Amino acid sequence: MADGTLQVRVVSPQKIVFEGDAAALVAPAWDGMVGILPGHAPFLTLVGVGELSIELPGGGSRSFQVAGGILKVLTNRVTVLTEYAGTEPPAEIPAEAIVHPEDVVASATDASS
């Protein structure tokens, strides 16, 4: 598994921004950057604001500015659904891209009570 490749799909509501194989991927999650290599466990996280970079299998890389959305990893397939994807950072950060840690803590305590 570990020597496999990732199948990556970066999708915005209007189009597929990137689709193809990758050796690794670094994405901005809501709480910091996450790196994903082949063989990663199933994973679901919110996407924050920043640079998403994809290492291509044959060397070289692609990168995009993304903001908001969700990232899903399942059996070496990575799907990034993002509100914004482009070469430039978004002019205005969508409200969905901002996660306040307090809210997360509040929702977690709600659930356990």
Applying CB under 8 A, the residues found at the interface with other proteins are 9, 11-16, 29-31, 41-46, 69-70, 72, 74, 79, 81, 83, 96, 99, 103-104, 107-108, 110-111
Q: Which is nearer to other proteins, 24 or 80 (CB)?
A: 80
Q: Which is nearer to other proteins, 59 or 88 (CB)?
A: 88
3-class DSSP string for the chain? CCCCCEEEEEECCCCEEEEEEECEEEEEECCEEEEECCCCCCEEEEECEEEEEEECCCCCEEEEEEEEEEEEEECCEEEEEEEEEECCCCCCCCHHHCCCHHHHHHHHHHHHC
| Residue whose CB is less far from other proteins, 2 or 58 | 2
Nearer to other proteins, 38 or 69 (CB): 69
